[in-house]
Amino acid sequence: MAWLYRFLWVVALAFPIVLSAAQVDGAAKAEHPSVSIDAHSRQKLVYTLPADKLVRARSLYHWRTALGFAEPLWSILVLLAILNLGWASRIRDWAVSLTQRRWLQGLCFIPLLLLLTTVLQLPLSIVGHHISLAYGQSIQSWGSWFLDWTKALLLDLLGGTVILTVLFAIIRVSPKRWWIWIWLLSLPTEVFLVFILPVVVDPLFNHFEPLAKSNPALVQELERVVQKTGMDIPPTRMFLMRASEKVTSSNAYVTGFGASKRVVVWDTTIKSSPTDEILVVFGHELGHYVLDHIRRGLVVGSVISFFFLWLGFHLARFLVKRYGERWRVTSLEDWAGLAVLLLVLSALSFIAEPIGNAISRAQEHQADVFGEEVVHGIVADPQKVAAYSFQRLGEQFLDYPFPNPFVVFWSYSHPTIAARVAFATSYDPWQPGGHPRYFDKTGQILAHRF
């Protein structure tokens, strides 16, 4: 659902932050056992890679960076080609020739436009999966990968058709104020998507089973962490995901909203990680919910998206006025005008990326702090566990230790591994004179800090 996510990123920048908190994060674990380190050596711990892994990490970093910038720019070029070659206007003419009913025209035009844009972006997706296989980040077969791509395409077509149909109807009813109505509708739409994601979407791509069925002891440990925060996540909402069928990484996270909220632990994590590391990772993810990052992200995102939708409104009108004759697009009320809107949304989503990532990095750091504090008293040495967990995360993901600051600013949704290791080793608020940020020294949560 890449296109739909990019669309919603512009509508409200909070959504990718929510997805990042719910899906992307987690600390991968390699084969190294936990190592006891004293306070002095902890201060000197830095993120490093062995020489052979450093070479591979540098190469993979260049590939990741190139693809990270190429994908949104390619999306923009694809939409420009669709408009300049007259494909959008031809699809519109075909849809209009079939029926006079506008809603039927939309059912003909929108899915075909979305299918065309998605298929034209397929080559970069193929390159991305090839790189993941070549560097050991994925073990998913091409048949399985293409099946997932097809599922995502169908979801994209379904969700995109609904969203663009509503958008087009609003544009026709209120051609000068449609961007305000879309802004008002974005917040409940995002909340709904976050709610249904773990219930409807996730099971289409991965297998889940009750965690208590295979790991009852781990469930008890996770409950200890949850109880310390005062939240209510019963064992019936804790699940094991069979990630080993597709990836080599590890993860544990909290996802969903309200009645759909749940804990998910990947089987790769259980196979390669001691319980204390799983608890630290889980504590980090739990922090996103306890610190109310979803609601705050939605609020901040709605404010920012108000400006970007206003800007998109004026930019789209300018493009139609300037290039409408060449593109055979008479106005935004023309079906082909939706291609112009997709072009504008793709461009603005690329421009907005560093803003969303800056907010995400700040929230991830807060969750790192929370993760260490919430397991204090449950895990013997949370600083050590967190530091070595990040070290192994970097080794497993071949995370390059020396990324370009501009690349970090623009495209990193999390602090660098080096920064997270340095923080984990130095953060010790339980020493004399120190003050934990979210818990007091007896382990009681400080509600007023939120």
DSSP per-residue letters across 132-189: HHHTTSB---HHHHHHHHHHHHHHHHHHHHHHHHHHHHHHHH-TTTHHHHHHHHHHHH
Beta-bridge mates of residue 208: 241
CA–CA separation, 264 vs 205, rounded Å?
A: 14
pLDDT grade, residue 449 (50/70/90)?
low
**Mean pLDDT value of segment 247-267:** 85
What average pLDDT does the structure give for the chain?
87
- pLDDT tens readout for residues 62-88: 999 999 999 999 999 999 999 999 999
3-state secondary structure of 85: coil
Per-residue pLDDT for 240 more than 70? yes
- What is the full DSSP assignment across 259-295? GG-EEEEEHHHHHH--HHHHHHHHHHHHHHHHTTHHH
Pairing of strands 252-255, 262-266: antiparallel
| CA gap 320, 326 in Å, rounded | 9
- Give the amino acid at 361: R
pLDDT at 3: 42
Lowest mean pLDDT among 24-33, 95-104, 186-195: 24-33
Q: What average pLDDT does this structure show over 350-378?
A: 94
The C-alpha atoms of residue 211 and residue 222 are separated, in whole angstroms, by 11
Question: Buried b vs exposed e over 148-187: b needs ≥16 C-beta within 10 Å?
Answer: bbeebbebbbebbbebbbebbebbeeeeeebbebbbebbb
Q: What is the mean pLDDT of residues 102-123?
A: 95
What is the value of pTM for the model shown?
0.84
Residue bearing the bigger pLDDT, 336 or 293: 336
Count of C-beta atoms within a 10 Å radius of residue 330: 14
Q: What is the pLDDT of residue 36?
A: 38
pLDDT at 415: 96
Asked whether the predicted pLDDT for residue 32 surpasses 50, the reply is no
Crossing angle of the two packed helices 337-374 and 275-290, in degrees rounded to 10: 120
pLDDT number for residue 35: 36
User: Average pLDDT in the 114-123 region?
Assistant: 95
Confidence class of residue 43 from pLDDT cuts 50, 70 and 90? low
Residues 268, 392 contacting (CB under 8 angstroms): no
Q: Which backbone phi and psi does 281 adopt, to 5 degrees?
A: -60, -45
**CA atoms of 221 and 320, how far apart (whole Å):** 59
Quick check: 431 pLDDT over 60?
yes
φ, ψ dihedrals at 85, nearest 5°: -85, -5
Dump pLDDT digits (tens) for 272-320: 888 898 899 899 988 988 898 878 887 888 899 999 999 999 999 999 9
320 vs 340: CA distance, rounded Å: 8
pLDDT, tens digit, for every residue of 160-217?
999 999 999 999 999 999 999 999 998 888 888 888 999 999 999 999 999 999 899 9
